Amino acid sequence: MFGLSFTNPAMLYGLWAALLPLVIHLLNRRRSVTLPFSNVALLQTLQHDRMRRVKLKQIILLILRTLLIVLLVLAFARPTLTGAGASGSVGDAGTAAVILVDQSLSMQYRTPQGTLFERSKARVRDILSLFNAQDDVQILLVDSDVTPLSDASLTTLRARIDGWSAQFDVTDMLPGLQTALTHLQTSQMPNKELYVVSDVSHVGWASVPDTLEWDGISVFVVPERPEIVQNVSVAQVKTVGGLLRVGQPVTLEIELVNHSETPRGDVPLQAFWDDRRIIQQVAHIPAKGHKKLYARFTPETSGARALRVEIGDDDLPADNTRVSVVQVPEQLRVLVIGDTRQDTYFLSQALQAASFDVHIQSSDQVTDEILSAADVVYLCHVSRLSAGIINRLQKHVSSGGGLGIVLGEQVDMRHYNERILSELLPATLISVRGQPGATTAYQAFPPELPNHPMLSHVQLDGTFRSPRFFAHYVVRPEGETQAILSFANGTPALLESKVGQGHVVLFVSEWGATLSWNDMPVSGFFLPFVYNLTGYLVSGAVSQSDYMVGRVVNRPLGISTKNEGVLRSPGNDAQTIWPQQRGVSPIWPVGRVDRPGLWKIYAQERLADLFAVQVDPMASDLTRVSDARLQAIFGDTRLFVVSADQQIKDVVLPLRYGREFWRLALAGALFLMFVEMWIAKTTRSRRL
Amino acid sequence: MTLMEILSGRSVVVGLKGQNKREVLEELVNSLEVGDKITDRDKVLDAVLLREEIMSTGIGHGIAIPHGKSEYVTELGGVLGIKKEGVDFDALDGKPTYIFFLLVSPLDVSGPHIKALARISRLLKGEDFRQKLIAAADNEDAIAIIEEEEKKY
């Protein structure tokens, strides 16, 4: 099948110019001149033959001139044949093409014909066979990043395909599509083609806007998908319920997700704490649903410990194991700052009951040394603080320490608003509501408390009753400060802000020994709340040890060394790394982590650090993006979804501009010009 | 290829003065150093304007990647421009454009061009990074922000 198209169709308006010779001819015919002549008898005989020849030549010239203009216009309009047989197999009109190849985790899905990625590689080979050496072909490997494979000939590209492998990252098509679009729009080639070879999971298209304009570009989506999705993934592993302490039981929460269309009642699951198995069971998960499983275990040693959860084999093994590294602190040091014993009594008692290492200081005795030794600091109703202490507290929090501020009777509101809160927790103290000691009127917490780590296990479900608050400050949160818990009347009671790596919380009523502001310190609510609060505040101090695949990781050095370390990936590849100074802290510059699992850093012939790399749970979701969404993204452009049983060339070649005719048209025009000049010249010479 | 490699000569202009698309493009092209890489700035501007006529390179989210290929460019080059007030650049989402990344490259070389495009698209995907760039106080600040972001990828 053939078709004729024009690369510059606007030039065809020039065909009107082909009428010019005819118009000129008609205008000249009307201009007959009468000449007086003596005898026309001889001329009449001569005229009869010659005039016939002259008229014939004029008609020939008219046709030649018209054709000349037509051919010139056609040459500039660049006529091309379209269709599979237009010019051999791939055509000689140039093609600019970008091939996006999805190399994300979901492409590791196993099918009887190989993994989706292996199948994609075969498709890419087919696509490459559609190009000639003069074509501009670019391949972009995409996951959450874009890796261009440029500067290579078609032969080299074909040879490299075998070396590709699917990665562990999630897909994001946007950077790849933007790159392809910008590149193709710059190209002067008649054919502009985009190929997307992917499992077309909807996750990868979520960030792609409908506003990109694909005019003039043919888009070929080549889906490689399993017939039926059978996949369960370990989506999350974490400890819940506050602090991890040696010898104290902790709850492990595991979330499994079933991405299949059918329920799974037979998913074997095991969890390991370091290498000790702590759970073994079978999970039942509804179709397209998820299931949370819980188990209790007791950490026996402190330090960085590895949690690993495994489920049984399925068609996407890469998401069947998830590792997390959790820190079990040896001892948590809490500094309680208060000016009188009455101010610090209840809080220090609660902290000591929870086995924290508690130190009590008055505000004028706090030094850098004391602060640097503390994981968490509490300010108990302190009236004012010096600029030096505020500065030290800010540094403490920025570097990951926790700070709890408890308001009370002696608080200097103006000083807090202007000096303390402006630096540590953006908020304004407005007034005191209620009367300390007036126990007949009070505020309480609502029965339903928000879901927050500071409030876990202290829900007011009958186990605890709400404390009564006879007096409290009215505080307006500002900036990024958030109210975590409010009284039943909606007034904020507990506020939180993040400063650098650490947390700051503010409680609006006093915990003094007189109990004149509330009865909270003697309620059942107090002890678990203080325990949770302290654990939450210290979470910034316990360094993060879990990262997503694809991130660049820098680990705190932890030890004093200037010598090299050895980084071991989950695949046991070893790489030498050197400590670097980053800001005030020395780090191990690990770089981009591309494999999930446990990563280790050895220094001075011992294990110096441990961290976990996890796959994005979204990467396991193979739900297909809808055709309507693809249509919305690519708009009115030529979008073609190549089905599994279709040959790519059968779809592409019939649409492609094949042989171009502009050279032929130009040569024809030149030829006609010479013929016209010759005929015109002979006519003139005979007249002479 | 890193963004700082593309911006050879640390070509960053924070506080573009241009009030419309043409003026911004002229300002960006004028920031290219004429030398071994760029032999004629006017011709390069013509190529960029020609490309812009085909379709706006304002890709939305406050970003534009104007670009052009020209025989007067011998090696890939780039300039980053920032205008805090934004400019109507006929962006695809119809919103003002604040970040302009001009790329110019030789006619017959696609590899470095597409590598640069991929890098820019990847980095500018992050909302935080875009906001930081728009808020950059001066050229040095913008360079520091880019260098910090590049460490993440």
Mean pLDDT, all residues of chain A? 87
The pLDDT of residue A685 is 58
Q: Are residues A152 and A215 in the same domain?
A: yes
DSSP A79: E
Which of B65, B111, B122 faces A182 most closely, judged by CB atoms? B65
Contact flag A186-B68 (C-beta cutoff 8 Å): yes
Q: Measured between CB atoms, does A594 come within 8 Å of chain B?
A: no
ipTM over cut 0.95: no
Contact flag A179-B121 (C-beta cutoff 8 Å): yes
Tens of pLDDT, residue by residue over B78-122, are 999 999 999 999 887 889 999 999 999 888 777 888 888 888 888
CATH number for position A151:
3.40.50.410
Give the domain extent around B106: 3-150
Q: How confident is the model at residue A463 (pLDDT cuts 50, 70, 90)?
A: low
pLDDT: is B148 or A46 the higher one?
A: B148
| Block residue for tokens 């193709």 | A184
Under 8 Å CB-to-CB from A141, ≥6 apart: which residues?
Answer: A101, A103, A147, A149, A164
- Assigned domain for A364 exists: yes
Q: How far apart are CA B101 and CA A436, in angstroms?
A: 62
Q: Are residues A409 and A479 in the same domain?
A: yes
Q: Are residues A493 and A585 in the same domain?
A: no
Report percent pLDDT > 90 for chain A: 50
Contact flag A174-B125 (C-beta cutoff 8 Å): yes
Choice among A281-295, A481-495, A525-539 with the minimum mean pLDDT: A525-539
Contact flag A178-B54 (C-beta cutoff 8 Å): no
Tens of pLDDT, residue by residue over A110-153, are 999 999 999 999 999 999 999 988 888 999 999 988 999 866 78
The interaxial angle of helices B111-123 and B139-150, nearest 10 deg, is 90
pLDDT average, residue stretch A592-610: 92
CB A325 within 8 A of CB A607: no
- Assigned domain for A565 exists: yes
- Assigned domain for A320 exists: yes
Q: Are residues A428 and A467 in the same domain?
A: yes
Which of B113, B121, B152 faces A146 most closely, judged by CB atoms? B121
CATH number for position B12:
3.40.930.10
Q: Which of B90, B105, B114, B125 to mutate to test the interface with A (most CBs of A within 10 A)?
A: B114
Q: Are residues A276 and A243 in the same domain?
A: yes
First CA to last CA distance, chain A: 54
The pLDDT of residue B7 is 82
- Assigned domain for A617 exists: no
Total structural domains within chain A: 5
Q: Are residues A527 and A632 in the same domain?
A: no
The pLDDT of residue A90 is 46
Q: Measured between CB atoms, does B59 come within 8 Å of chain A?
A: yes
Contact flag A150-B110 (C-beta cutoff 8 Å): yes
Q: Which of A325, A335, A245 is nearest to A612 (CA)?
A: A325
Q: How far apart are CA B63 and CA A663, in angstroms?
A: 41
Tens of pLDDT, residue by residue over A358-400, are 999 998 888 888 888 898 999 999 999 999 899 889 988 887 7
Q: What are residue A110's DSSP bridge partners?
A: A115
- Residues of B with a catalytic annotation lie at 67
- Assigned domain for A147 exists: yes
Q: Are residues A355 and A488 in the same domain?
A: yes
CATH number for position A289:
2.60.40.10
Total structural domains within chain B: 1
Q: Measured between CB atoms, does B113 come within 8 Å of chain A?
A: yes
Q: Are residues A373 and A470 in the same domain?
A: yes
CATH number for position A501:
3.40.50.880
Q: Are residues A405 and A300 in the same domain?
A: no
Give the domain extent around A564: 547-610
**Distance of CA A176 to CAs A116, A172, A369, A392, A555, Å?**
19, 8, 52, 46, 30
A210-213 — which CB contacts under 8 Å span 24+ positions?
A210/A632, A210/A633, A210/A635, A211/B60, A211/B92, A211/B93, A212/A177, A212/A178, A212/A181, A212/A633, A212/B59, A212/B92, A213/A181, A213/A635, A213/B55, A213/B92
- Assigned domain for A30 exists: yes
Tens of pLDDT, residue by residue over B8-58, are 656 899 999 999 999 999 999 998 877 778 888 899 999 999 888 877 888
Q: Are residues A256 and A136 in the same domain?
A: no
- Assigned domain for A18 exists: yes
- Final residue of a structural domain among A487, A509, A538: A538
Which of B67, B115, B121 faces A175 most closely, judged by CB atoms? B121
Contact flag A209-B60 (C-beta cutoff 8 Å): yes
CB A323 within 8 A of CB A310: no
CB contacts < 8 Å between A and B, how many? 78
First CA to last CA distance, chain B: 11
Chain B residue with minimum CA distance to A550: B153
Tens of pLDDT, residue by residue over A1-42, are 556 777 677 788 888 888 888 888 787 765 666 666 666 666
- Assigned domain for A87 exists: no
**Distance of CA A447 to CAs A52, A243, A443, A450, A457, Å?**
113, 25, 12, 10, 14
Q: Are residues A463 and A554 in the same domain?
A: no
- Final residue of a structural domain among A329, A360, A388: A329
Q: Are residues A462 and A339 in the same domain?
A: yes
A209 to chain B: which residues are within 8 Å by CB? Answer: 60, 92-93
